[in-house]
Amino acid sequence: MRNLQDNIEKKRFLLGQDFFLHEDVVGIARALIGKYLVTEFDGVRTVGRIVETEAYRGPDDKACHAYNNRRTRRTEVMFGPGGYAYVYLCYGIHHLFNVVTGPENAPHAVLVRALEPLENLPVMLGRRGLLFEQPSLSNGPGALSQAMGIHTRHSGQFLCTNESPIRLEDDGEFFPDEDIIISARIGVQYAGTCAFRPWRFYLKNSPCVRKPKNKT
């Protein structure tokens, strides 16, 4: 079992923009497992470890908002270079946080779907209206965005400086393939055969990933 206290002590380093500029959004989604999402708004800092992601790949992925190069005010940020936030409202209620990836005009993004909460749990609980720690604190994309204070107003925010109010960090820990489960993406059945693409990644054994039986 992972010891969260150990992780608090570990030195973490910013993920630079280079990390997000590659064409291979599926590979980036895989690589983001175990990285840290950090937010810092008005000096209030919260941190969680990413344990579930999904890749959405620009023009040829019917599940992606930028399918067929569909370009609207909402999706515009995906057409820029990687390293920016794409946050949109889902079902009128939930703010879903994505990291744009790829070079300019490759409208790809990685949806962050679950976190293990790590720092400043009281603030995260308060944002969620919860009284004590439980999986629903950050085990889904809408929940984690709320816990981290991420809002659609942050769409377009650059993520790759140490001053960014939202950023991603790495502590150097390596996650072997055997620790990571690959599956089809959630909630995209409207996307035809694209719905079967194995572009979802999650950390085996994490109590913060919903449903798909956490073994052990």
Partner DNA sequence: AAGAGGATGAACT
Partner DNA sequence: GTTCATCCTCTTG
- Positions that interact with DNA (CB under 7 A): 54, 56, 63-65, 70, 72-75, 86, 88-94, 96, 98, 109, 111, 128, 136, 140-144, 152, 185-188, 190, 210
Q: Which is nearer to DNA, 51 or 188 (CB)?
A: 188
The span from the CA of 129 to the CA of 155, in Å, is: 24
Amino acid occupying residue 87: V
Q: Which is nearer to DNA, 133 or 173 (CB)?
A: 133
Q: Which is nearer to DNA, 38 or 96 (CB)?
A: 96
Tokens read off for 38 = 């950090």
Q: Pick from 57, 188, 171: which is nearest to 116 by CA?
A: 171
> 3-state DSSP call for residue 130?
coil
CB of 9 to DNA, least distance (A): 29
Exposed / middle / buried, residue 145 (Cβ in 10 Å: 0-12, 13-18, 19+): buried
The span from the CA of 136 to the CA of 154, in Å, is: 23
Q: Which is nearer to DNA, 128 or 204 (CB)?
A: 128
Q: Which is nearer to DNA, 65 or 167 (CB)?
A: 65
CB of 126 to DNA, least distance (A): 13
Amino acid occupying residue 161: T
CB of 163 to DNA, least distance (A): 25
Task: With both helix axes pointing from N to C terminus, report the angle between 141-148 and 121-128 in degrees, rounded to the nearest 10.
Answer: 120
CB of 132 to DNA, least distance (A): 14
CB of 97 to DNA, least distance (A): 8
